[in-house]
């Protein structure tokens, strides 16, 4: 009788371990590929910031956020929660990764997020680097000054 009870208990423990492993794997697979979830979580953390554009990493574990006032934000899946923060000007260093599709990022005020973030394409990585470095092209509603044609004509 005792051996049957131990076998049943062992089977229950194995079953619980299997279910827990599957749930953890599902959570890891989900990540932040769902942009709706990223919008909700970032909006919950920073309700006064208007999101303009999102760019997830290839593995879905991080999302870079372009805000309406041309600031940038960052979200990272920390397995049980999402870490969200605004990136202040001058607090990030960015280099291209070796693959050309990623960025090696050093957050001065949040060193636990330092690392290399790979994107699906080099175009996505370059777009995020522009957000982070603040190198925006002139806004379409602002007119650029006319070139000085008199200097070019020798006048």
pTM of the model: 0.66
Every domain of the chain and the residues it spans:
35-133
- Is residue 16 predicted with pLDDT exceeding 80? yes
Q: Tell me the two tokens of residue 41.
A: 């979580």
- Is residue 10 predicted with pLDDT exceeding 90? no
For 13-78, the DSSP string reads HHHHHHHHHHHHHHHHHHTT--HHHHHHHHHHH-TTPPEEEEEE-TTSSEEEEEETTS-EEEEEE-
- Is residue 115 predicted with pLDDT exceeding 70? yes
Percent of the chain with pLDDT over 70: 79
> What pLDDT band is residue 91 in, cutting at 50, 70 and 90?
confident
Q: What is the pLDDT of residue 136?
A: 42
- Is residue 134 predicted with pLDDT exceeding 90? no
> Between 2.40.360, 3.40.50, 2.30.29, 1.20.1740, what CATH number should domain 35-133 receive?
2.30.29
């Amino acid at each position: 009788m005792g051996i049957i009870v131990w076998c049943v208990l062992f089977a229950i423990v194995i079953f619980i371990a299997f279910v827990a492993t599957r749930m953890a794997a599902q959570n890891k697979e989900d990540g932040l590929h769902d942009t709706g979830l990223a919008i909700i979580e970032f909006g919950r953390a920073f309700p006064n910031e208007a999101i303009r554009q999102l760019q997830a990493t290839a593995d879905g574990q991080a999302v870079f956020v372009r805000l309406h006032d041309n600031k940038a934000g960052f979200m990272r899946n920390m397995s049980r929660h999402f870490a969200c923060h605004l990136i202040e000007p001058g607090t990030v260093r960015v280099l291209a990764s070796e693959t050309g599709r990623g960025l090696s990022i050093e957050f001065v005020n949040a060193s636990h997020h330092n690392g290399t973030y790979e994107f699906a394409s080099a175009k996505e990585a370059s777009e995020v680097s522009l957000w982070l470095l603040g190198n925006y092209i002139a806004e379409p509603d602002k007119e650029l000054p006319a070139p000085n044609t008199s200097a070019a004509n020798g006048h």
